[in-house]
Amino acid sequence: MSAAHFPDRSTVIVTAAGSAATPSTVLHLRRHGFRVVATDTDPEAPGLYLADRSYLVPSGDSGVFLPELRAICRREQASALVPLVDEELVPAGELEDKGMAVLLPRAEFVATCLDKYVLMRRLAAAGLPVPATRLFGERFGSPAPPLVVKPRSGRGSRGVRTCATAEEYERLSASGEHAPENTVVQEWIGGTEFTVSVVCWRDGTVQAVVPKEVVLKRGVTTFAVSREHPRVSEVCRAVQHELRADGPFNVQLALDGSGEPRIFEINPRFSSTAPLTAAAGVDEIAGLILQARHHGPRLRDTWRSGVVMVRRCTEEFLTEEEFSACGIVPGAETPRTARPADVGSLT
């Protein structure tokens, strides 16, 4: 795929410019000839300075996020939108129309995955393997410790606690730190963890499944390796069959003591490990944009096992004039409290 496919430099909007994988995603799409517009809530988000044009936006859970993002899409004449942070997924999905594709699963699948308790119940009802799960505050019984306590909605490892014993769980329960109806308790699955890219689009066909073994995780996966695992792939294909995402999603699972995969979370969007998926041979983001807006071919489930991702900080270099044009002057106060309407376009 090259710039020759996009003589008009088709515009793609990518959100969450400060997330771990977004800067490389911005550069990757630009190398393929897309014109990339990046957004974030934080003016220090590095992906803002690597895009063709950038905007500060309100938080995705605010009432003004959707009209702001709609205005940006219209102003930039975007052909595709790639939302990459959970708070933005539901409102962003409302922007899909004949003129612009939103690279997300269907709305019902998104809503189900964002409620971790509902998701586990849906998966279990479909016969898919999941950890024993209940709401926080219910009397201790099943599952047995060790236990994972986490917000019913949320992303990354924010607010996640592990209780090794029943006594530790009872102390946490008595502390009042967690609202019972908004907190989930899961059986801890201690085997090898996988984060899996499942690539499909509106016709429902699973085009590719790329399991990646998690080697090191600090909020997001920092070291991982593409790894063939037929049973993991089978379980992830079954998610699409049973729940019909009909869009890209990421399955997080771990192997139990018998080697059976247990799904503990699904992200209804591209994973932060999408760059590893592409490096292994399945360019899921660019490939689905092509399909959604340019009648591109389906992706093939052909990829290399054993490709290792080492996530690290790196440097990009701009002229002082280019950097100043992005809206932050060295030594000046960063406009953290400015309203998006005040900041406007950064470049």
Clarify whether residues 218 and 305 are in a common domain.
Answer: yes
Residue 81 backbone phi and psi in degrees, to 5: -125, 130
State pLDDT tens for residues 157-190: 677 888 999 888 888 888 877 788 899 999 999 9
Residues 211 and 306 in one domain: yes
Q: Kindly write down the DSSP assignment for every residue of 154-166, as one continuous string.
A: --TTTT-EEE-SH
The helix/strand count (H/E) of the chain reads as 11, 15
**Is residue 5's pLDDT more than 70?**
no
Residue 197 in contact with residue 284, Cβ under 8 Å? yes
Residue span of the structural domain in which 160 resides:
132-187
Whether the bond between 146 and the residue before it is cis, its omega within 30 degrees of 0, is: yes
In a domain, 27, yes or no: yes
Count of domains observed in the chain? 3
CA distance 233 to 235: 6
CA-based nearest residue to 312, from 232, 223, 247, 237: 223
Amino acid in the structure at residue 294: H
Q: pLDDT tens-digit profile of 295-329?
A: 899 999 999 999 999 999 888 888 887 777 665 43
pTM of the complete model: 0.89
What separation in angstroms does the CA of 32 have from each of 3, 124, 127, 285? Answer: 5, 40, 41, 11
Shared domain for 181 and 281, answered yes or no, is no
Is residue 121, in this structure, part of any structural domain at all? no
Helix residue ranges per DSSP H, 46-200: 65-76, 86-93, 107-114, 116-125, 166-175
- Residues 202, 287: one domain? yes
One domain, residues 304 and 243:
yes
